[in-house]
Amino acid sequence: MARYCYKNDLPLLGICYGAEIIAQTFGGSLRRMPRPIRGNLEIRPDRPNPITGDKKSISVFESHGLCVARLPEEFDRLAGSEYCPFEIFAHRAKKIFGLQFHPEKSGQDGLDVIERFVKL
């Protein structure tokens, strides 16, 4: 699916495991976390971007035991946390985004992320 979206220039939003699949599909890597994380966390985007806009921080819900350890070459980090270096990442030229968290369980900040993606 990720390669299909890439080839056909279709938007793709990978959520949690979906972000991990995107990273691996395009040459990134994963690592097992010292302990699984489950709960709310505040993350700070590195800069304004299409997914978080100009928000300085967003509250997100996390539930995972793996995280993206290395991004593929054509991707950039948009936000990280003390637990995962790549909480949000994006392809440099295509509308392909990975979210290590669950926006659907992240309250208004998560709904805003989904809405921004849908409007791309």
Tallying the residues shown for the chain, one arrives at: 120
Judged on CB neighbours under 10 Å (0-12, 13-18, 19+), 25 is middle
Task: Tell me whether residue 5 is one of the annotated catalytic residues.
Answer: no
DSSP for 34-62?
A: EEEEEEEEEEEESS-BTTTBT-S-EEEEE
Q: Which one is catalytic: 20, 64, 84, 102?
A: 102
Query: In this structure, are residues 19 and 51 in contact, taking their beta carbons and an 8 Å threshold?
Result: no
Q: Which one is catalytic: 16, 64, 67, 87?
A: 16
Judged on CB neighbours under 10 Å (0-12, 13-18, 19+), 60 is buried
Task: Tell me whether residue 67 is one of the annotated catalytic residues.
Answer: no
Task: Tell me whether residue 16 is one of the annotated catalytic residues.
Answer: yes
- What secondary structure letter does DSSP report for 102? B
- Active-site positions? 16, 102, 104
